[in-house]
């Protein structure tokens, strides 16, 4: 393989590529870990009753783990959707509107998730 990466490579551009690339991986790892926690907690429960399900989310550590995952998801989705918009939407105005709409959508979802979690 050609060595087109590493310290000798001339880096050009806006410089957010590597940061977002890393963030995409880090947030994915957080969500994957949470998936395992959720599956283990859910499958180790005896039956799918309200008490069992809500009891899981009543624990503070579980709320925090869920919330951290939601934040990771928000960042992950932002980077992903922005990349898709950059690829397919070429008009700067439309792109700006869609990007702002994406952010509004995601932040609203994060707020709702917090409300859901902390009233259990």
Partner 1 sequence: MSDAAKNTRPQYRNIHIFQILGYRMPFAALVSILHRISGLLLFLFLPFILFLLDKSLLSEISFEYFRSFTSGWFVKLIILALSWAFLHHFCAGIRHVIMDFEYGLSKDGARRSAVSVLVISLPLAALVGLKLFGVF
- Residue in 15, 50, 60, 92 binding partner 1, rule: CB under 8 A: 50
**String marking each residue 68-87 x if it binds partner 1 according to CB under 8 A:** -----x---x--xx--x--x
- Residue in 20, 41, 45, 53 binding partner 1, rule: CB under 8 A: 53
Minimum distance between the CB of residue 46 and partner 1, rounded to whole angstroms?
16
Is residue 95 a contact partner of residue 89, using CB atoms and an 8 Å limit?
yes
| Residue (16 or 111) nearer to partner 1, CB | 111
Of residues 15 through 44, those in contact with partner 1 by CB under 8 A are 25, 28, 32, 35
What is the spatial distance between Cα 46 and Cα 56, in angstroms, rounded to a whole number?
12
What is the spatial distance between Cα 38 and Cα 95, in angstroms, rounded to a whole number?
36
């Amino acid at each position: 393989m050609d060595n087109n990466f590493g310290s000798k490579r001339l880096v050009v551009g806006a410089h957010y590529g590597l940061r977002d690339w890393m963030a995409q991986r880090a947030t994915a790892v957080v969500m994957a870990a949470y998936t395992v926690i959720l599956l283990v907690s859910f499958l180790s429960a005896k039956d799918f009753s309200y008490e069992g399900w809500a009891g899981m989310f009543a624990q503070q550590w579980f709320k925090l783990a869920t919330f951290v995952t939601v934040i990771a998801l928000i960042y992950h989705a932002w980077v992903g959707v922005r990349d898709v918009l950059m690829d397919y939407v070429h008009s700067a105005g439309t792109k700006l509107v869609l990007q702002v709409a994406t952010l509004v959508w995601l932040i609203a979802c994060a707020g709702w998730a917090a409300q859901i979690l902390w009233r259990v």
